[in-house]
Amino acid sequence: MSAEIIDGKAFAAGLRARVGEQAARFNAASGRQAGLAVVLVGADAASSVYVKSKGKATVAAGMASFEHRLPADTSQDDLVALVDRLNADAAVDGILVQLPLPSHIDERVIITRIDPDKDVDGFHPVNAGRLATGLHGFVPCTPLGCLMLLKHVRGDMSGLDAVVIGRSNIVGKPMAQLLIAQSCTVTVAHSRTRDLPDVVRRADIVVAAVGRAGFVKPDWIKPGATLIDVGINRTDAGLVGDIDPVCAEVAGAMTPVPGGVGPMTIACLLRNTIVSACRREGVPLDEAAI
């Protein structure tokens, strides 16, 4: 048995194309482009590359990209002032402040300053609350991408056992909420979970987001389970995920690293931005179609 490899790169390309089509309709209906503002503080190499790729993808989808690159010694007050200006800017539909921020800036202050209705990263507590209670909000891009891939492979997930390994606010917690909304029976596992391999063996769906290379082992996997690997770990052998690749010999379907979840994150950011623009301008949009 060998797992179906879930091609996140191809799925993300399709999603970006659908976003581009909706962006063109939005332009025609509103007389302007949807706009995404990305803020980078400092010159972290990985963050800088990521911000550049977000900008290129935004423009390629037919939307306006507003980049704000600030020096590492920018004060918290100055960053708050920029966020306030972007909140008030009618041309900006989505705001993303690239994390991590320099140590002298409190990320919680910045995240909670962003207008929840422009918070296309889905990190604001208001959007976390909306997700938990089933209300209309924005879902963090990585777990949203994971859900799209799962629905593509599994279809109806009602009644399935799902284990999310990792409890971060960015991936683990929102992923669990999304799976609950799909009527899965969800366990959130973490560093203090007892008998973790036994917990994972019960799962029809495993989402691993712990940041430890090859952490999930083949003998943990229920035959035929679907595995979503969120981990991106740099090793001497290159980029590897949190799930041992040998798990593909047991699983029914599995995302690769790279080329699985990663491409979905930016595609879902674009998706959230066009959704925000359409909501703000009252332009009709079938959100389930993108």
Peptide bond into 258 cis (omega under 30): yes
54 catalytic per annotation = yes
Phi/psi for 194 (5° steps) reads -85, 145
Helix axes 8-30, 141-154, angle to 10 degrees: 110
Q: What is the DSSP letter of 99?
A: S
Indicate which residue of 93, 121, 204, 242 is catalytic: 121
Indicate which residue of 54, 118, 173, 222 is catalytic: 54
Which pair of structure tokens corresponds to residue 8?
């996140």
Neighbours of 183 (CB within 10 A): 12
Which pair of structure tokens corresponds to residue 94?
């989505």
Pairing type for strands 94-97 and 35-41 reads parallel
Pairing type for strands 185-189 and 161-165 reads parallel
Neighbours of 96 (CB within 10 A): 23
76 catalytic per annotation = no
First-to-final CA distance of the chain: 33
Task: Kindly list the distances between the CA atom of residue 109 and the CA atoms of 39, 106, 256, in Å, as whole numbers in the listed order.
Answer: 15, 5, 35
Indicate which residue of 22, 33, 98, 177 is catalytic: 98
238 contact partners, CB below 8 Å, separation of at least 6: none
Q: How much is the CA Rg of the chain, to the nearest whole Å?
A: 19
Residue 19 parent element (H or E): helix 8-30
Farthest-apart Cα atoms in the chain, separation: 57
- Residues 229 and 146: their CA atoms lie apart, in Å, by 9
98 catalytic per annotation = yes
Which residues does the annotation mark as catalytic?
Answer: 54, 98, 121
